């Protein structure tokens, strides 16, 4: 004799809802803690998604403040917290990126201090630092030199400096002072300017 297959009984949706309501009513603390856990989970997911969206919006806003056509790449930190070093091939790699039209670079010259004359003590550097740069930097950032010339192929290998207005003020080099000294020496600076 063969055994008959057991008959499978299923709850109807209405019976299932009644059974769930009985469980919620008899175990109120368990039900409220479950609801609280679900609410905290949903809130955490919303917070994480909102945080990433807000940081992305902050990055986009910062790029918009810089201007859509100018981005600055700087070195970050290593896992140990030290300053990371960009490879010397970084400008070439950046210039090969699709929408990049120009890539120029600057770098800090270590152990170089700035003085107006050699008679000024070494501790009086006026907090100025020396940066080396590529020759086409002014054109890439859309600026020019107010007086004199920027670095070129002739000055590339010799010690030459281009001072910003703040550095010139800190060193005591004012336009009027420069012109007075030049006139005293019989040099006409305006005729020599390009």
Q: What is residue 193's predicted lDDT score, i.e. its pLDDT?
A: 41
Q: What is residue 43's predicted lDDT score, i.e. its pLDDT?
A: 94
Q: What is the pLDDT along the chain (194 residues), one digit of tens a residue?
A: 567 777 877 888 888 888 888 888 888 898 899 999 999 999 999 998 888 888 888 877 877 776 667 777 888 888 888 888 888 888 888 888 887 888 888 888 887 766 666 666 766 666 677 888 888 888 888 788 877 788 888 888 887 777 777 777 776 666 666 666 666 666 655 544 43
Q: In Å, what is the CA distance from 165 to each residue of 146, 169, 170, 174?
A: 9, 6, 9, 9
Q: What is residue 130's predicted lDDT score, i.e. its pLDDT?
A: 81
Q: Which residue has the tokens 């091939």?
A: 89
Q: Which residue has the tokens 């950032």?
A: 141
The verdict on pTM exceeding 0.85 is no
| The token pair that represents 66 in the structure block | 């810089």
Q: What is residue 191's predicted lDDT score, i.e. its pLDDT?
A: 45
């Amino acid at each position: 004799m063969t055994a008959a297959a057991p008959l499978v009984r299923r709850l109807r949706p209405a019976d299932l809802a009644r059974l769930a309501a009985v469980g919620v009513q008899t175990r109120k603390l368990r039900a409220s803690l479950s609801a609280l856990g679900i609410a905290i989970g949903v809130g955490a997911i919303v917070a994480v998604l909102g945080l990433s969206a807000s940081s992305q919006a902050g990055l986009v806003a910062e790029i918009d403040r810089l201007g859509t056509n100018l981005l600055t790449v700087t070195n970050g930190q290593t896992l140990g917290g030290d300053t990371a070093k960009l490879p010397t091939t970084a400008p070439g790699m950046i210039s090969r990126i699709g929408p990049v039209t120009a890539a120029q670079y600057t770098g800090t010259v270590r152990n170089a201090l700035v003085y107006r004359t050699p008679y000024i003590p070494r501790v009086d550097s006026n907090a100025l630092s020396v940066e080396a740069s590529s020759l086409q930097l002014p054109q890439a950032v859309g600026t020019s030199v107010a007086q004199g010339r920027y670095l070129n192929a002739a000055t590339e290998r010799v010690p030459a400096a281009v001072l910003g207005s703040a550095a010139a003020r800190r060193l005591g080099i004012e336009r009027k002072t420069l012109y007075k000294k030049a006139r005293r020496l019989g040099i006409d600076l305006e005729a020599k300017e390009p």
